[in-house]
Amino acid sequence: DGGITQSPKYLFRKEGQNVTLSCEQNLNHDAMYWYRQDPGQGLRLIYYSQIVNDFQKGDIAEGYSVSREKKESFPLTVTSAQKNPTAFYLCASSIGWGAEAFFGQGTRLTVV
Amino acid sequence: AQTVTQSQPEMSVQEAETVTLSCTYDTSESDYYLFWYKQPPSRQMILVIRQEAYKQQNATENRFSVNFQKAAKSFSLKISDSQLGDAAMYFCAYRSGSDNTDKLIFGTGTRLQVFP
């Protein structure tokens, strides 16, 4: 089945460690997105990519980094510079202009 | 910059009744797309309905319909014959159709409770 896979579903890390969240899609979509979801704040855009080897910062990019070396993959690294990394992270992809986005099941990151 | 506002943090409705969720947005663009997404307790985001700004006709998907008022920059979602399975968070979203950024921007959401 085509879809978006995020892994792992739950992730625990110690404070000060970098951690990478995986996002893979087999929908042949060009655009991919990373969102952070906190209670009462909806989905906030971290990074997005419209094409391989290119990506742009969203509204809350500080403390995060991404890469887009393959069309299918858009991993997100939460660095130690992110001051409050505990959150629910959603990855999405879209075929192009004006099309709806399809979402993965999310990763719950807890930093202790 | 574009913004999306959902002014109702929570709403409730009786089963089989109708409820309307509000969404307003701010943009200087004339070409864009609007969406409503549903997020049940599983947290999986599900597309409910999509509206192109250049279309005057309001989109409809079964029990879900929108009231799109372009001049007022309003995009409300009407759920008819509400069912227990409609209980979820609902997010309004905006996507540019004319610039190069291709951002997809969400509102803060409305939690819908459905009572039997």
- Predicted confidence at residue B101, as pLDDT, reads 66
Which residues make Cβ contacts (< 8 Å) with residue A42, sequence separation at least 6? B6, B91, B106, B107, B108, B109
Q: Note the pLDDT of residue A1.
A: 63
Within 10 angstroms of residue A75's Cβ, the number of other Cβ atoms is 17
SS3 of A50, please?
strand
Peptide bond into B116 cis (omega under 30): no
- Chain A positions touching B45 (Cβ under 8 A) are 90, 92, 101, 103
Interface of A with B (CB under 8 A): 31, 33, 35, 40-45, 48, 50, 56, 58, 88, 90, 92, 94, 97-98, 100-103, 105-106
pLDDT band at B1 (very low <50, low <70, confident <90, very high): confident
**Residues B44, A103: C-beta atoms closer than 8 Å:** yes
Comparing B100 with B112, which gets the higher pLDDT?
B112
User: Among B96, B21, B90, B114, which Cα is nearest to B52's?
Assistant: B96
Residue B100 pLDDT > 70, yes or no? no
pLDDT tens-digit map of B24-58: 999 988 889 999 999 999 999 999 999 999 888 99
Distance from CA of B45 to the nearest CA of A (A): 6
What tokens does A87 get?
């959150």
* Strand pairing class (A107-111; A10-13): parallel
Beta-carbon contacts of A56 under 8 Å, excluding residues fewer than 6 positions away, are: A47, A48, A49, A50, B101
- Say yes or no for a CB contact (<8 Å) between A45 and B43: no
**Largest Cα–Cα separation, chain A:** 39
pLDDT of A11 higher than 90: yes
Name the band, by pLDDT with cuts 50, 70 and 90, for residue A95.
confident
CA dihedral over A99, A107, B2, B109, signed as positive or negative: positive
| Nearest-neighbour CA in chain A from B44: distance (Å) | 5
Of B6, B97, B102, the CB nearest to A31: B102
* pLDDT the model gives residue A25: 97
pLDDT reported for residue A39: 81
Contacts of A58 in chain B (CB under 8 A): 103
Please indicate whether, in this complex, the C-beta atoms of A42 and B108 are within 8 angstroms of each other. Answer: yes
How many beta-carbon contacts under 8 Å exist across A and B? 49
Residues B88-104 as b or e (16 or more Cβ within 10 Å = b): bbbbbbbbbbeeeebbb
Kindly indicate the confidence band of residue B77, based on its pLDDT and cuts at 50, 70 and 90.
very high
* A112 burial level (CB within 10 Å; 0-12, 13-18, 19+): exposed
**DSSP letter, residue A73:** B
Q: What angle do CA B109, B114, B116 make, to 5 degrees?
A: 175
User: What is the per-residue pLDDT across A32-83, written as a single tens digit (0 to 9) for each?
Assistant: 999 999 987 789 999 999 899 999 999 999 999 999 999 999 999 999 888 8
Closest CA to B11 of B92, B109, B80, B81: B109
CA B13/CA A63 separation, integer angstroms? 41
Cβ atoms within 10 Å of B113's Cβ, excluding its own: 13
For residue B5, what is the nearest residue in chain A, using CA coordinates? Answer: A42
Which of B47, B101, B107 lies closest to A42 in CB terms? Answer: B107
How much is the pLDDT for B97?
77
